[in-house]
Amino acid sequence: MTTLRGIPASAGFAIGQAFMYYDIEFPPIPHYTVGPSDAPAQWRRMEEAVSASAAKVQSQIDHLSPDKDKVQFDMLTVHLLMLHDPDFLDQVKERLFGHGENIEWAVWSVAQTMVQRLMESGDAYLRERAVDIADMADTLVRRLLSIEEVSLADLSEEVIVVTNDLMPSQALAMNRDFVKGIVMAAGSYTSHTAILCRAFGIPAVVGLPEALKTIEKGEVLSIDGGSGEVVVNPGVEKKKAVRLAMKVYAREREALSALRDVKAVTQDGKEILLKANMQIAQEIGAVFDYGADGVGLFRSEFLFLTPGEPMAEDRQAAIYTDVIKAAHGKSVVIRTSDVGGDKVLPNLFPREEKNPLLGCRAVRFSFAMPELFKAQLRAILRASAHGDIRVMFPMISGVDEMNKALGYLEECKAELRSKGIAFNDHMKAGSMIEIPSAALTADILAKKCDFFSIGTNDLMQYTLAIDRGNERVSYLADPRHPAFLRLIKMTVTAGHEANIPVSICGETGGDPALVPLLVGLGVDELSMAAAQIPLVKKAIREVRFCDCEALAEELLCR
Ligand code: PEP
Ligand code: MG
């Protein structure tokens, strides 16, 4: 029995067998010149890759029901057609035989050109085909480079996944019915995969590089996602203790449900609204079971990271409408897509970004892809006809970007108006405050916003220069750092002077231990993983606002 300790990322206990998942990184694609005598052999490899890929797609199709699995069925059928598309194959052939480009490079370049052209078109259908082409090229190049694919979507028995790192898109794709727990070498509490684990209620321990050296396939593990403990080959006594802890944990959660319908009010009468963060639309059902006052953050980008979820405006409008209709008359803040950073849109995102967290992320990506952005804004507006939907823009650095985002919103309103499509003309629009420059100019920004929501995960990352996904520097993340607290305080003060509410929607907002401090800084709302709401509510009901203010005052000047 060996005990390891990592970063606690998602509370809960699990006992199960280790499933070692090594994601095989996409290497740089080789680029070299092929002489006329070698070209035919390369083309034969291409033909083999096409027919093997087609056989795999066909067998996936054979296992689906055209009615029940319609989205996946349609997507795979399109993939199959594309693999045999004569135009695509002719262009690849021309690059190989005509220009002497090696086959992997030829496939990749032709696909990239097609993707780029389709993405720039104003047609939603064509943009979706761009995703399919990129996917197909990915599959072909992997096969040509003999990169074997293992998919967590194919899990068929209960396991604890042990892995180096998991991209959020992979976490979304895994078969959650069979993932009892996750142990990851990389990552920190605020990395997006950790956020997803909490949303899915999967116990997880991250930032544990020893896991890969110590754990072998099939070994029994017990994990405690609340303390970060991972035990390899636990003995009988340890297993008994973990099973008991599982029962106690379930009972404690049960007891907290008594707080569902009471308000989060301090002992001296200050009420804080507690809202839920959502990553996928299906979470809406559970959100209100925890007593949420609304949805403070719907991370819409996960919609696009989910395999088979199209980005078409109509589909998005339908999803947002379903969400708001299920919100019991409460408000839902939809954040426009925050792709980039660690949330890479498979295939469509430029792979070559050296510093993705400082790169083309969030509104920067949206501004670079105005048609995608506008399709999302129109979809949000259309859903706003059905309830209190609010829109929020991520990674706003200052008032110019807010003006630009609002400009697109106005354009979309005009387009809908001209077509006679209903929407709420007074839909509230707010900014995330997650870049220090936004907090420092919050007084100017506030004049353009209906609300602020502080993204403490990124605000911490960008203020203290700590990559939020890097376990080697995660020990530096300090939510009590005066620089961080001062930026929050500045934002709250600016928001209140402009009469707009200020929320926190980063992970600190769901940490009961930080509640007195955040309340003392004057925030109006906290938004968090829904399961945290009862814990945070309990913490708020136990304190006095005046004590919280004194604590905040002290720490601001520490
Ligand atoms: C944040 O940065 O705190 C936030 C809520 O956004 P995300 O975690 O999705 O970057
Ligand atoms: Mg953020």
List, for residues 114-168, the tens digit of each pLDDT value.
Answer: 888 877 776 666 766 777 787 788 888 888 888 766 778 888 899 999 998 887 7
Give this prediction's pTM.
0.76
**Could you write out the DSSP letters of every residue in 296-343?**
EEEETHHHHHSTT----HHHHHHHHHHHHHTSTT-EEEEEPP--BTTB
Residue 226 DSSP symbol: T
Same-domain pairing of 503 and 538: yes
Sheet holding 159-163, edge to edge: 2-5, 229-232, 220-224, 13-21, 159-163, 179-184, 204-206, 7-10
Residue 278 DSSP symbol: E
What confidence tier does 27 reach under pLDDT thresholds 50, 70, 90?
A: low
Beta-carbon count within 10 A of 271 CB:
14
Give the domain extent around 187. 2-22+154-255
List, for residues 273-298, the tens digit of each pLDDT value.
Answer: 999 999 888 889 889 989 999 999 99
List, for residues 65-76, the tens digit of each pLDDT value.
Answer: 777 666 667 777
Ligand 1 atom closest to residue 457's alpha carbon, by position in its atom list = 3
- Tally the residues of the chain: 558
| Mutual angle of helices 103-120 and 124-144, in 10-degree steps | 170
Same-domain pairing of 240 and 313: no
What pLDDT, on the 0 to 100 scale, is given for residue 352?
A: 64
| Domain membership flag for residue 111 | yes
Q: Give 103 Cα–ligand 1 centroid separation in angstroms.
A: 40
Kind of pairing between the strands at 179-184 and 159-163: parallel
What confidence tier does 267 reach under pLDDT thresholds 50, 70, 90?
A: very high
Compute the average pLDDT of residues 516-543.
96
Mean pLDDT across the chain, nearest whole number?
90
Q: What percent of the chain has pLDDT over 70?
A: 94
What pLDDT, on the 0 to 100 scale, is given for residue 22?
A: 76
Q: What percent of the chain has pLDDT over 90?
A: 67
Catalytic residue ranges: 192, 505
Q: Which of 503, 500, 396, 525 is CA-nearest to residue 454?
A: 503
Q: Which of 222, 255, 288 is the last residue of a domain?
A: 255
| Domain membership flag for residue 115 | yes
Ligand 1 atom closest to residue 192's alpha carbon, by position in its atom list = 8
Q: Which residues line ligand 1 (CB under 6 A)?
A: 297, 299, 338, 434, 455-458, 505-506
Between CA 247 and CA 252 the distance in angstroms is 9
What confidence tier does 303 reach under pLDDT thresholds 50, 70, 90?
A: confident
Same-domain pairing of 272 and 418: yes
pLDDT at 31 over 80: yes
User: 551 vs 150, which has greater pLDDT?
Assistant: 551
pLDDT at 242 over 80: yes
| Domain membership flag for residue 410 | yes
Q: Which of 428, 430, 431 is CA-nearest to residue 396?
A: 431
Name the domain count of the chain.
3
Same-domain pairing of 314 and 428: yes
Q: Which of 402, 412, 496, 408 is CA-nearest to residue 449?
A: 402
List, for residues 400-429, the tens digit of each pLDDT value.
Answer: 999 999 999 999 999 999 999 999 999 999
Q: Assign residue 199 the CATH number of its domain.
A: 3.50.30.10
| Domain membership flag for residue 30 | no
Q: Give 394 Cα–ligand 2 centroid separation in angstroms.
A: 7
Q: Give 454 Cα–ligand 1 centroid separation in angstroms.
A: 8
